[in-house]
Structure 1
Amino acid sequence: MFDQLLAFVAKHARAIPERVVRGLFLAAADAAWATHAGSVRQLERNLVHVTSWANDGAPVDRRELRRLSRRGMRSYFTYFSEAMTVGGRTERQLRARIRGAGDGLDSLVELTGTPAQGGRDGSAPIAMGHQGNWDYAGFWAKFDVAPVVTVAEKLADPDLLKTFVGIRESLGMRILLTGTPKLTSRLEAVLRGPHVIVPLLADRDLGRNGEFVRAFGSVIRVARGPATLAIDAGKPLYVVNMHRERLSGKRRREAGTPYGYVCEVSGPIDVAPYLGMPREEAIAALTQAWVDIWAAGIAAHPEDWHMLQPFFLPDLDLDRLRNVPDWVTATLRADRAGDAARTHACPRKS
């Protein structure tokens, strides 16, 4: 039902006032949050790890967690309302809704910009997560950085897949789908060309393979793509975090909305130190390096992280995954033993 609603809104983006769509989606977000649906409970389990880690292991206040998860659900549904109505927005509106920032932005522009822009006409892979509005980010990059080639998940619903691909292509992105033959080789070929960036949503792995890394005081499993591409192409790896910000003045008037986004670029991570390592060790180490940077951005703005799926080691079904390292299995056993010990140590009510 939700998929059909998304497709309907996208097809009638010019006819339906954006404020109406935003209001409907925010109402849906509040309804899901109020009923404490399974996806909301999973979001809160994920946020517990982030907020506890950000506060040096301090216990998470239940009320504050609920407030944070509500903001998270509203951010998540806002993304869909914006993505589905992008066809009704002008270039001026979209450009006013997002800006670049971060200590890696100038370096990325210098590397990938055209000579006319003062750049070196290079290319770069980027690791990013499910934050903010990555469709807006791709649109912004076309003007301020370089054209985007990226990968989209191949959805079961062909109409919804066509809708999402159409939206991103209308914003100037070139889209390849998961499951495309020789996908990694095709992306490497793209990176050998000039004036292009390849951002990959990599904070969760959709297949049975993935790289286990430490983050937020726990263990997570992310995609190997960014590290693999950077190493094989010999390109520096950048990291992007996104979060919402309140707009004001001229920019708010031009955007036609009270909120916009910051696309924060970090890096580059030089791949040279990893090239002398054995391949699997290099991919693991470089993946851990970008996750360390990315995790700090998540902790700064957890409400804009759209992770409603099992993500941390205690919630993963390791029996369904391949190539689980021994250290991950040992970590899970130790965590479960610690939980059991704490349970038995609690005094029972008489």
Structure 2
Amino acid sequence: MSKLTDSLVYAAFAAGWAVVRKLPERVALKGFEVASDFVWWRRGKSVRRLEGNLTRVRPEATPEELRQLSKRGMRSYLRYWCETFRLPDLSAEEIVERVVVHGEAEFRQALAAGKGVIAALPHLGNWDLAGGWACATGAPFTTVAERLKPERLFDRFVAYRKLLGMEILPHDGGAGVLSVLGDRLREGRFVVLVADRDLSERGVEVTFFGEQTRMPAGPAALAVRTGAALLPATLWYDGPQLHIRFHDPIERPAGRQPIVAMTQALADVFAETIAAHPEDWHMLQRLWLADLDRTRVPVG
């Protein structure tokens, strides 16, 4: 990315952040809905990829049903950005009011056990708002973020999330990141990891909606190494509110490959909620191995 492009991207985000925060909420949300419909209508690369992913979730859907589903999906995705831009201006009480939690008692019980808790979640709903809820209710956490470009945009997102109470580690931090996460869990603390897309190409191969893909090994590996509880967490919108569901812990199975089995168990839980709320799954990138293989250049 050139310096000029870096500057334009940063300026666009900065302007959006400033303007959206000053608008009345209803006006801001309506503006983002109109923008999402325009993006959807143009049918660019991201929209086509979203539809390609949704065909795995809803294989029985007609082309028109799939198009309408992708339209709702883009509205949900742009809603995420609108809420994220406005989140720093919400009080802790306002954040809590916007969230409905299922399985909170089990989550609090796992935290109170003092062995650490890992919440693994897919790209569903608004994970920033969910993180704000956790911090506002006495569960600050450590997480890993994909490094954005330009660098100062990544720094701004880190600063914003720190303001909410999160500790952010860069995804490209190597083995040191896993070491820090392990330390936090051994201290009995809370770690949150988005876990439905592998960025390393070294993830665990799982079956997801009947096809093969890779998901990060990190959540299961950390649970095995530290003894922390591994809780799948899923998110979805229902009207004005975000729902968070903490599922039953993924137990370490007997056998020689517990990380593989635990990661598959996470994938199964993710698939259940994504199937129920596909419009809130913000997966606009290639995910399945069959799609990734098509992008590789043949050798020889």
Instruction: Spell out the pairing of 1:25-36 with structure 2 (5 A cutoff).
Output: 25-36=32-43
Cα-to-partner distance string for 1:228-286 (whole Å, 9 max, x where unaligned): 1111112221001100012xxxxxxxxxxxx1100111011122x24xx43xx221111
Instruction: Spell out the pairing of 1:307-326 with structure 2 (5 A cutoff).
Output: 307-317=283-293
Residue 260 (structure 2) pairs with residue 284 (structure 1): yes
Residue 210 (structure 2) pairs with residue 217 (structure 1): yes
User: Which letter does structure 1 place at the counterpart of 2:53?
Assistant: N
Does the residue aligned with 1:269 lie in a helix, a strand or coil? coil
User: Which letter does structure 2 place at the counterpart of 1:129?
Assistant: P
What CA distance in whole angstroms lies between the structure 2 residues aligned with 1:286 and 1:24? Answer: 41
Instruction: Spell out the pairing of 1:29-44 with structure 2 (5 A cutoff).
Output: 29-44=36-51
Cα-to-partner distance string for 1:189-216 (whole Å, 9 max, x where unaligned): 000013x221101110112321110010
Instruction: Spell out the pairing of 1:109-258 with structure 2 (5 A cutoff).
Output: 109-112=108-111, 119-144=112-137, 146-181=139-174, 182-194=176-188, 196-246=189-239
User: Which letter does structure 1 place at the counterpart of 2:34?
Assistant: A
What CA distance in whole angstroms lies between the structure 2 residues aligned with 1:2 and 1:179? Answer: 21
State how many pairs are aligned: 289
Q: In structure 1, what is the equivalent of residue 3 of structure 2?
A: none
User: Which letter does structure 1 place at the counterpart of 2:197?
Assistant: R
User: Which letter does structure 1 place at the counterpart of 2:91?
Assistant: T
What CA distance in whole angstroms lies between the structure 1 residues aligned with 2:10 and 2:75? Answer: 18
Q: In structure 2, what is the equivalent of residue 295 of structure 1?
A: 271
Cα-to-partner distance string for 1:88-132 (whole Å, 9 max, x where unaligned): 222222111112114xx32221121xxxxxx33442112101111
Q: Conserved in 1, the CA contact under 8 Å of 2:201 and 2:214?
A: no
Q: CA deviation at 1:145?
A: 6.1
Residue 40 (structure 2) pairs with residue 47 (structure 1): no
User: Which letter does structure 1 place at the counterpart of 2:269?
Assistant: I
Cα-to-partner distance string for 1:116-161 (whole Å, 9 max, x where unaligned): xxx3344211210111110111111124462211111111212221
Q: In structure 2, what is the equivalent of residue 343 of structure 1?
A: none
- Structure 1 residues 62 and 2, CA, compared in 2 at 3 Å: closer, same or farther? farther
User: Which letter does structure 2 place at the counterpart of 1:185?
Assistant: S
Cα-to-partner distance string for 1:6-37 (whole Å, 9 max, x where unaligned): 22232455433333332222222111111111
Gaps of 5+ in 1: 53-58, 113-118, 247-258, 321-350
What CA distance in whole angstroms lies between the structure 2 residues aligned with 1:25 and 1:285? Answer: 40
Q: CA deviation at 1:164?
A: 1.5
- Structure 1 residues 14 and 308, CA, compared in 2 at 3 Å: closer, same or farther? closer
Q: In structure 2, what is the equivalent of residue 338 of structure 1?
A: none
- Structure 1 residues 295 and 3, CA, compared in 2 at 3 Å: closer, same or farther? farther
What CA distance in whole angstroms lies between the structure 1 residues aligned with 2:197 and 2:277? Answer: 18
Q: In structure 2, what is the equivalent of residue 63 of structure 1?
A: 64
Q: Conserved in 1, the CA contact under 8 Å of 2:9 and 2:150?
A: no
- Structure 1 residues 95 and 286, CA, compared in 2 at 3 Å: closer, same or farther? same
Q: Conserved in 2, the CA contact under 8 Å of 1:83 and 1:167?
A: no
What CA distance in whole angstroms lies between the structure 1 residues aligned with 2:150 and 2:287? Answer: 24
Residue 72 (structure 2) pairs with residue 74 (structure 1): no
What CA distance in whole angstroms lies between the structure 2 residues aligned with 1:178 and 1:318? Answer: 26
Does the residue aligned with 1:151 lie in a helix, a strand or coil? strand
User: Which letter does structure 2 place at the counterpart of 1:317?
Assistant: D
Cα-to-partner distance string for 1:304-328 (whole Å, 9 max, x where unaligned): 00001011222113886xxxxxxxx
TM-score, L = length of structure 2: 0.90
What CA distance in whole angstroms lies between the structure 2 residues aligned with 1:265 and 1:110? Answer: 12
Does the residue aligned with 1:213 lie in a helix, a strand or coil? strand
Q: CA deviation at 1:163?
A: 2.2
- Structure 1 residues 39 and 190, CA, compared in 2 at 3 Å: closer, same or farther? same
Please identify the structure whose Cα radius of gyration is greater: 1
What CA distance in whole angstroms lies between the structure 2 residues aligned with 1:3 and 1:314? Answer: 34
Q: Conserved in 1, the CA contact under 8 Å of 2:145 and 2:171?
A: yes
Q: CA deviation at 1:73?
A: 0.3
